[in-house]
Structures are given as structure tokens and as C-alpha cells.
Amino acid sequence: MSDDEQIKDKEDLQETPDTQETPEEANAKAAAMAAEEEANEETPADAEVISEDAGEDLEKEIEKRDETIALMHDKLQRQMAEFDNFRKRTEKEKSEMFAIGATDILKKLLPIVDNFERGFNTIPEGEEKTQFAIGMDMVYKQMMKMLEDCKVTPIEALGKEFDPQFHNAVSHVEKDDVGENVIVEEYEKGYMYGDTVLRHSMVIVAN
């Protein structure tokens, strides 16, 4: 061996580190680095799958929310309709109860009106201007005004054609000077309460 070759071998020995890695250690290190890079690396395909899953979840949440809103809206509409029906039914019942109560009271007042009118017919001629007769007339007019304010009006009967909806015939008479089925006499006056018959007229009808 020449002197030059001996010098080169010495330099190679000096450059070689005393703690050189074994092949097994180098392979293990390379495998660990590759695994770390693979774990940290996200491929475009993986990102697309994650994006699609997130979109589907969002759509499901939106659909669920819309269904909940629709159910709540429907429930609200039903409750509002039920409340409106209840309000109308209550108002109708209240109105009917008031009408029934008013009708009962007004019916009890009608015989008093009848007695006043019978009393006027018994006043002797010439005594219509006495204090007693004037007082009776004032009370009678006050009562009739009260009934009128309560929408109570007399039923027209005398000279009218008999109508079973408003009149009640107590007898029939032969009358050649009037038409058939015409009322010739009113036995008891009838009254209306608004559009309702409070008491039918008691009448005598011509045949």
C-alpha cells in the first residue's frame, strides 16, 4: 500500500462518527416519520367525504326544524279556532239567557197592561178627567214607554187577515160584511219582543 492510500484510510476513519445508527434504528425512525406525515396529511377525497356528511347533517337539522315549526303553527291555528268557537258559543248562550230572562219578566208585565186597559173601559162617561183617571193614564203611558224601549210592540190584529204565526183564534163568526178569514174582534192583545212573538193575539175570526 502506498503512502497516499494509507493517509486516505486514516481520514475516512476520522470522518466516521463513533455513534453511527444501526440499520434497524434507521428503518424504525423512517417508519415513524412516514406514519406521522400520513396521520397529519388529509387527502382531497377525505375532505370531500367530511363536507358531504356535514351538509347532510345540516339538511336534516333544517328539515327537523321546519317540521317542528309547522307542527307548532298548526297547533296554534287549532287553538285559535277553538277559542273563537268558544267565544262565539259563549256570546250566543249569554244572549239567549238574557233573552229568556227578559222574556219571562216582560210576559209577567203584560197582564198588568191588560188590567189597565180593562180599567179604562170601565171608567164612566164624563169621569175621564178625574184625578184618578189621569193618574192611571200616566202610569199606563209610562209602562208602555218602558215596554217600547225594551223593543216590545203590539201585534196588529183587528181588520187583518188571520195569521197563525201571530194570532190565536178563540172562535169563528159569520160575517157577510167582511172577507173570509179576517179578524173581526181582538179578545186579548198580542205583543212582539223584537222579532219573537211574546204573546199571540187572542182573536175572533170571520168565516
CATH of the domain at 178: 2.30.22.10
Please state the rounded mean pLDDT for residues 6-31: 57
pLDDT score of 97: 75
CB 186 within 8 A of CB 158: yes
Do the domain assignments include residue 71? Answer: no
Residues 6+ apart with CB under 8 A from 107: 198, 199
Provide the grid cell at 9.
484510510
Rounded to the nearest 5°, which phi and psi values hold at 204?
Answer: -115, 130
HSE-up of 62 (CA within 13 Å, CB side)?
Answer: 6
pLDDT score of 17: 45
Instruction: Give residue-wise pLDDT tens across range 30-76.
Output: 766 766 666 555 555 555 555 666 777 788 888 888 888 989 988 88
Question: Is 70 exceeded by the pLDDT of residue 116?
Answer: yes
Residues 6+ apart with CB under 8 A from 180: 206, 207
Element (H, E) at 29: helix 23-40
Distance CA 99, CA 116 (A): 26
pLDDT score of 160: 92
pLDDT score of 206: 92
pLDDT score of 18: 47
Question: Is 90 exceeded by the pLDDT of residue 146?
Answer: yes
Question: Strand 167-173 vs strand 201-206: parallel, antiparallel, or unpaired?
Answer: parallel
Question: How many residues are listed for the chain in this entry?
Answer: 207
Do the domain assignments include residue 189? Answer: yes
Do the domain assignments include residue 89? Answer: no
Residues 6+ apart with CB under 8 A from 147: 106, 109, 113, 191
Distance CA 110, CA 152 (A): 10
Element (H, E) at 159: none
Which is higher by pLDDT, 38 or 172?
Answer: 172
Do the domain assignments include residue 147? Answer: no
Confidence of residue 183 (pLDDT cuts 50, 70, 90): very high
Average pLDDT, rounded, for the chain: 81
Do the domain assignments include residue 86? Answer: no
Do the domain assignments include residue 200? Answer: yes
The domain containing residue 174 runs over which residues?
152-207
Model-level pTM? 0.55
Question: Is 50 exceeded by the pLDDT of residue 92?
Answer: yes
Do the domain assignments include residue 169? Answer: yes
Distance CA 134, CA 129 (A): 6
Number of domains in the chain: 1
Please state the rounded mean pLDDT for residues 142-153: 93
pLDDT score of 144: 93
Do the domain assignments include residue 120? Answer: no
Please state the rounded mean pLDDT for residues 162-190: 90
